[in-house]
């Protein structure tokens, strides 16, 4: 085994539907070099991995070479930690089951671990962020979808198949719930993601006639950022949209607390940056719906990691656990 003194760096790779971002990270969580490639332009996974390696390898060489890197961690949609594969990811161009970790190991000779993006965020938060020193917490990522990483006894819960922790697909509206990308109705993701907030805005604006700054924007192009900007300017409808969203999320969090009694719930993503507009209704709904034995025990925190770095840091944190490849 090489000591971390000899291998002071790890690599984090975050694979998004649009962009793939990667960086070389030291033990303090500083990204010392980074780069990006477009995810969608490569029709085969082989081409894609070749391209990422072509951009990543010069960065590694410039920082002391492959022998300075302990491992590579990858966060990806539908990433499976047990098998190192991406399986049937709806937003990626390659279909079926892709043995991504093995493909990187083969090309670079560096041990590689892969997990889903929300689990990677949880590992990053525990290693470098708001959950440092915590052994029990739930990470909720509020982006295009709602993701979650559940940490129990200091370990991410993967389940028997590697896919545990899809709290975004807990059904929060049993009757007439919104259609979700997963094909079911009423998932948390359809209400509390950035996309869900935009959907709520369109529904409320269509159902009502009262004035709102949001009426100045074509309905189909409203984003959650627009709703935030309007709320800051005192817009009543925008504030109501946050109340509605935060209430649904808080009710769901009260249920999640009953499941693992976490020390904290950490919120991550653009929506979490909406401050009290979203946090107040979430906290109120938790308080109104929580079982008495849990009252006041779980902290509601916002991620301390910068959005732009968090995904890479989270993925990289996986790599510290890796063992060296056998020669």
What pLDDT is recorded for position 90?
78
Q: Please tell us whether the domain made up of 9-124+308-321 is placed in CATH 3.30.310.220.
A: no
In contact, 152 and 136? CB cutoff 8 Å:
yes
CATH top-level class of 134-304: alpha beta
Tens digits of per-residue pLDDT, 98-153? Answer: 999 999 999 999 999 999 999 999 999 999 999 999 999 999 999 889 999 999 99
* pLDDT average, residue stretch 205-222: 96
Q: Which residue has the higher pLDDT, 17 or 175?
A: 175
* pLDDT average, residue stretch 254-277: 95
What pLDDT is recorded for position 3?
52
77-81, 238-242, 303-307: which range is least confident on average?
A: 303-307
What pLDDT is recorded for position 253?
98
Q: Which tokens in the block code for residue 44?
A: 């085969």
Tens digits of per-residue pLDDT, 60-101? Answer: 999 999 999 999 999 998 999 999 999 988 778 898 999 999
Q: Give the distance, in angstroms, between the CA of residue 252 and the centroid of all CA atoms in the same chain.
A: 18
- Mean pLDDT, the chain, rounded, equals 94
What pLDDT is recorded for position 4?
54
> What are the CA-CA distances from residue 33 to residues 29, 58, 92, 249, 313 (Å)?
12, 10, 25, 36, 12
Report domain extents, the chain.
9-124+308-321, 134-304
Classify residue 178 by its DSSP letter. Answer: P
What pLDDT is recorded for position 5?
62
Which residue reads 């909720």 in tokens?
140
In contact, 228 and 278? CB cutoff 8 Å:
no
200-232 in b/e form (b: 16+ CB < 10 A) is bbeebbeeeeeebbbeebeeeebebebbbebbe
Residue 326 has pLDDT above 90, yes or no: no
d(CA 252, CA 188): 8
Question: Which run of H or E residues covers position 291?
Answer: none
Q: Across the strands, what pairs with 10?
A: 25, 71
Q: Which residue has the higher pLDDT, 252 or 4?
A: 252
């Amino acid at each position: 085994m090489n000591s971390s003194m000899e291998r002071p760096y790890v690599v984090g790779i975050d694979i998004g539907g649009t962009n793939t971002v990667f960086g070389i990270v030291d033990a303090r969580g500083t990204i010392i070099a980074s780069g990006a490639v477009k995810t969608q332009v490569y029709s085969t996974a082989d081409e894609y991995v070749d391209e990422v390696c072509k951009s990543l390898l010069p960065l590694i060489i410039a920082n002391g070479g492959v022998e300075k890197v302990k491992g590579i961690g990858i966060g990806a949609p539908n990433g499976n930690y047990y098998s190192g594969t991406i399986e049937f990811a709806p937003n990626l161009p390659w279909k079926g089951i892709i043995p991504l970790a093995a493909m990187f190991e083969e090309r670079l000779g560096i041990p590689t671990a892969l997990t889903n993006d929300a689990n990677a965020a949880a590992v990053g938060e525990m290693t470098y962020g708001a959950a440092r020193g915590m052994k029990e917490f739930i990470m909720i990522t509020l982006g295009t979808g709602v993701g979650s990483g559940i940490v129990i006894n200091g370990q991410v819960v993967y389940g028997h198949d590697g896919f545990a922790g899809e709290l975004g697909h807990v059904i929060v509206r049993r009757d007439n719930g919104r259609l979700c990308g997963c094909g079911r109705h009423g998932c948390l993701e359809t209400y509390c993601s950035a996309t869900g907030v935009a959907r709520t805005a369109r529904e409320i604006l269509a159902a009502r006639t009262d004035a709102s700054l949001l009426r100045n924007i074509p309905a189909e192009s409203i984003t959650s950022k627009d709703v935030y900007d309007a709320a800051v300017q005192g817009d009543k409808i925008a504030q109501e949209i946050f109340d509605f969203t935060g209430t649904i999320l808080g009710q769901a969090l009260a249920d999640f607390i009953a499941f693992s009694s976490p020390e904290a719930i950490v919120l991550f993503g653009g929506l979490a940056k909406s401050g009290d507009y979203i946090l107040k209704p979430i906290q109120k709904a938790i308080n109104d719906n929580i079982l008495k034995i849990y009252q006041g025990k779980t902290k509601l925190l916002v991620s301390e990691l910068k959005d732009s770095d968090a995904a890479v840091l989270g993925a990289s944190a996986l790599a510290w656990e890796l063992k060296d490849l056998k020669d």
